[in-house]
Structure 1
Amino acid sequence: MLSLEEKILVYQNEGEGFEILSTVIFVGIILSGITYSVLSLRALAIYKKRIKDNFSSIEKINLQWLLRLVFGLSIIWVLVFFADDKIIFSSVVLFVVFIGYYGIKQVGIFTNKHALELSLTTESKEIIEQCIAEPQITKYEKSALTDSQLKAIHGELVHLMKQKKLFLTPELTLTMVAEELEIHPNILSQVINTVEQKNFFDYVNTLRIEEFKDRIAKYDYQKYTLLSLAYECGFNSKTSFNRNFKNLMGKSPSEYLKECKAMLD
């Protein structure tokens, strides 16, 4: 540990005699910045997938804001080596302001206790025990559900969606549907992924699009706007509706409506 006098001497001599130590510190700072950025981006990719596996609407809980903060912090790392102190400190202050803004604006994702709690029946507990019985080399490593079990649960899911039309609920979650079926969310997620070949987000929004198409085909609904119909079908924003519709149909809602009107004429 250097004394204050020694530190002053090093500073006055512009680091002479401590070149190796300075190089090690410089390399360490660069590596820590790169490592942090890479690990942060990897974690974001994992959580982004988790969101689509558990929520049907992600506009208010997406992690784009956090991605911007990671990029912002990476820029600060670069400025540390190439900019003067005034620019560095100004960028840090601006970064802290952005953290505060996004921190207040962003809602909780996995902190809702009600969304994470599930009262399991005896039957559902037995199914879970079967699911963790033998490990398999699949996406769901601990799952041992048979094809017949997958089809049975999927049949119950389809029946539930037709009867209660849960997909009309804008903030529908995987846990909410699992509670209706009295099974564990992980099992339901596996069923949707395996049978439907979709995550929960895509599955629910596909049902919403199909409901929209059914309603727009009815003459009574011709007097409603596209956006009002979209809200009735479970979408909570115009952006979400347009994006999901185009992803599924390959065309915008307005283009689809024009084709429908042309067919009627």
Structure 2
Amino acid sequence: MLFLLLALVFGCNALTLYVLLKTKSDKLFDKVIRYVVWISLFHSAYAFLSRYYFEELPFIDRAAPFGLLYGPMLYFLSFSNHEKRLGRSNVIKHGSPFLVATIGYVIFLISPEWRRNYGLYYFEVLYSGVVVSMVGYVLYVFLNHKKAISDNRIRKLINSGATWLLLIASLLASIIVSKILRKEDIGSLLPGMIIYGAMLFVSFLIFKYSINNLLVKAGVDEESEESVPISAPRQYQKSALTVEILREYEQKLNTIMETEQVFLDTELSLESLSRKVKIPKHHLTQLFNTKINQTFYQYINMYRINHSCKLLLEEPETNLEEIAFKSGFNSKVTFNRYFKNQMGCTPSEYR
């Protein structure tokens, strides 16, 4: 059963990595996601091979310090969606506990004498360190929640990952109590099932996120929104929305666009905009179709293009791809297409 679980984790990560590489997103958050998937892919492969070929030596898998990577990965994911770069020193600082533990792990594997004399202390220090790391990073992320995670999809992904980290930390804490204090061994099957089950669940969430990004890049979401007719009065004939209410909605929408610049969120959707502006989604759709006479994407991208025009003049040294991301677009191709449709020339020609 454990081997099947590890195989599923590996397969899900491999498929997710393929989708992420296919998407070719340059967003920092998506780059960090790729690193997380690579780490999870290697971890699951390492666990599978060590348990399969060295079944009589379960400590090879149980003593591996991979757990020290997932807290920092949660941190990097949480804060990458609003920063331009993480910085090498920042990565080294948060990755140093894993590097130190890896050195100890290598010594643990190659020295039977060291393993006999200090093995118990090694597990105590390693598992305690993993518990402190996971709980500490989860608390830090939650304390900075609003600042770090503005997008709803990313928030759900981070929340799920944090929840599973707390579950794993609780499991490891119980192992420390059982093995160190009570001198009991709860075995490797149950912890393995919980840990790798959590990895499979989070891997599936990342897979869903990557598939959605691929669909957005391919324009599926835009086509579904664009396919709604601009003028569709017949379907709204029985609507309770009056002209005054629609006018109030439009003012409210324009205000939040101009003051909060929500259009700069590259993951903005009709649903998330509905929550931000506190207008029911079906009312917002009716507003676009009957009052504004634009689809959701036409309206949002109008603001994005206007913002990009300002950036093109104010930041002459910034390349066009970065201008696109700063303006809320997911890709340079989409940016160029909407810019030419609205302005009648390419961004480089406008500059």
**TM-score with structure 2 setting the length:** 0.34
**TM-score with structure 1 setting the length:** 0.44
Q: Which has the larger radius of gyration?
A: 1
